[in-house]
Amino acid sequence: MTAKKKTNEIDTSTMVKNPPKKFHHPYDELLRKYAIPTIYCPGCGIGTTIQAFLEAITKYTDIPHENIVVISGIGCTGRASGYINLDGFHAIHGRAIPFASGVEIARPDIKPVIISGDGDLFSIGMGHLAHAARRNIDMTVIVINNSIYGLTGGQDAPTTPVGALTKTTPYGKISYPFNLSQIAIANGATFCARYTVYEFTPLAKAIARGMNHQGFSFIEVISNCHVNFGRRNNLGDAIAMRKQFKKARVRMTEKDINKDWHKTDIEFKVGVGFTKIPTGIFLEEKERPIEFSERIVNAYEIKKS
Amino acid sequence: MEVHQHPEKKYYLITDESRCKGCGLCIAFCPKNCLGFSDEYNDKGWRVAKMQRMRDCIKCYMCERSCPDFAIFIDENEQTEKEELLKEEKTQEEKKN
Ligand SMILES: Cc1ncc(C[n+]2csc(CCOP(=O)(O)OP(=O)(O)O)c2C)c(N)n1
Ligand code: SF4
Ligand SMILES: [Mg+2]
């Protein structure tokens, strides 16, 4: 047998001139089509994460779409709620979680999903996140960690690794970054996962699992901001950054859930890039912890009787 | 929109040049090297991705899932898919017998 030669010839014979029907993207009904194309830079990981979220709600969970509310704060990521054709709210900077808490307490049957950036949720909105996790309010937080403030032009964020060059740290960052997953777990989140944008299907499944979980669930997505973070740190374009994620990810298995979440620091080398990104589901509290709106109802019943 | 049909399996792969921003992710992550850049530019000035060798496509969905702009997708042909399933069942039964 002779090995098949790899040819680079262009073959146009498979093209259909008169398509039998009008084709549309499988998630077109869940997108606000007038807003597409998005404002995101070519290759940005936020678009891929939005698609993973849409895949999660259509394929992997039974929650009806009219019971999902997408809430986001300010930033490139914050625009996600404007592109998704579900009920949603584009909150002011850092205040996505207070809004979601209100939604959840007023209508416990509704599932608030927060899609927001690392700068939005962990610098200006850090206090809100800590307290929502402490109260174990039933919501799903998807934080897109691109190690930078993308929208405003690449200032250093609480997730920027040591030594990285940004607009506001021209000699290299001198302070240490947050490990977002550990912060969420330490504050009381009952579900926590981290995936890179390269791992599309596991990410979609983790989002669905987090949404099915009763209580505060936290999903961290390591994304590429090649324009503001990659460019200044010589990490290349979107393709190069995603290939780096593919190489650097260290997947935890189902057996490691609830065990190794304290060994999940991301490693970054100046000039090289990400060298280790532990991914997987870190924590899932199996015995159903009582979430906030349920406890409110319980408290009322005790008072009545 | 450009529509390509797989010669045997009959499913469609559609590229929407009005949405494409030419980031090249689908081209880079296609395991069979089916896609490439077109010689044409779209209205926004991006050089768009195009299906060049549909025959090699294995329907792995890598392009659809890596695209941040919902510009490339696969449309499964339900009829041929059912036929395929029937065929598979038949061959498996034959193997058993
Ligand atoms: C009260 C207030 N302070 C500051 C800003 C400026 N600002 C806009 S977006 C942003 C940071 C966004 O970073 P992140 O949440 O990481 O989003 P990304 O763009 O990286 O997705 C800041 C500081 C603002 N809009 N409002
Ligand atoms: S600035 Fe960064 S985060 Fe914002 S759209 Fe561009 S690549 Fe994405
Ligand atoms: Mg950011």
User: What is the residue extent of each domain of chain B?
Assistant: 2-96
Please state, for a pLDDT cut of 70, what percent of chain A lies above it: 97
Report, as an integer, the average pLDDT of A46-51.
95
Q: What digits encode the pLDDT tens for the residues B34-87?
A: 999 998 898 889 999 999 999 999 999 999 999 999 999 999 877 666 777 777
Q: Does domain B2-96 have CATH number 3.40.47.10?
A: no
Residues 6+ apart with CB under 8 A from A11: B52, B53, B54, B55
Give the nearest chain A residue to B9 (CA atoms): A14
CA separation for the pair B26, B36 (Å, rounded): 9
Nearest of A221, A226, A229 to residue A277 by alpha carbon? A221
DSSP-derived secondary structure letter, A84: B
Residues 6+ apart with CB under 8 A from B8: none
**Pairwise CB contact (< 8 Å): B25 & A43:** yes
The residue range of the domain holding A224 is: 49-300
Task: Give the pLDDT confidence score for residue A1 in this predicted structure.
Answer: 45
Whole-number Å distance, alpha carbon A45 to ligand 2 midpoint, is 8
CB A118 within 8 A of CB A146: yes
Helix (H, G, I), strand (E, B) or coil at A87: strand
Handedness of CA A84, A145, B26, B6 (dihedral sign): negative
Position with higher pLDDT, A69 vs A263? A69
What are the backbone angles phi and psi of residue A11, rounded to the nearest 5°? -110, 110
Mutant choice from B3, B15, B43, B80 vs A, greatest count of A C-beta within 10 A: B3
Q: What number of residues does chain B have?
A: 97
Please state, for a pLDDT cut of 90, what percent of chain A lies above it: 79
**pLDDT at residue A237 above 80?**
yes
User: How many independent structural domains does chain A possess?
Assistant: 1
| CA-based end-to-end distance of chain A | 83
Distances (CA, A) of B69 to A295, B46, B61, B87: 42, 13, 15, 36
Q: What digits encode the pLDDT tens for the residues A7-47?
A: 678 888 888 888 888 889 999 999 998 998 899 999 999 99
CA separation for the pair B97, B92 (Å, rounded): 9
CA separation for the pair B76, B84 (Å, rounded): 12
Task: Give the pLDDT confidence score for residue B79 in this predicted structure.
Answer: 66
Q: Could you tell me if residue A227 is inside a domain?
A: yes
Task: Give the pLDDT confidence score for residue A7 in this predicted structure.
Answer: 63
Q: Whose CA is nearest to atom 8 of ligand 2?
A: A44
Whole-number Å distance, alpha carbon A172 to ligand 1 midpoint, is 21
Helix (H, G, I), strand (E, B) or coil at A294: helix
**pLDDT at residue A282 above 90?**
yes
Q: Could you tell me if residue A212 is inside a domain?
A: yes
ipTM above 0.95, yes or no: no
Here the CATH number for the domain that contains residue A226 is 3.40.50.970
Task: Report residue A62's pLDDT band, with 50, 70 and 90 as the boundaries.
Answer: very high
Question: Which residues on adjacent β-strands are paired with residue A84?
Answer: A31
Report, as an integer, the average pLDDT of A117-133.
94
A107 to chain B nearest CA, in Å? 32
Q: What is the pTM of this model?
A: 0.92
Report, as an integer, the average pLDDT of A43-68.
95
Q: What is the mean pLDDT of chain A?
A: 91
Residue list, ligand 2 pocket, CB within 6 Å? A 40-41, 44, 46, 76, 146, 150-151, 225-228
C-alpha of A94 from chain center: 15
CB B76 within 8 A of CB B11: yes
Whole-number Å distance, alpha carbon A81 to ligand 3 midpoint, is 16
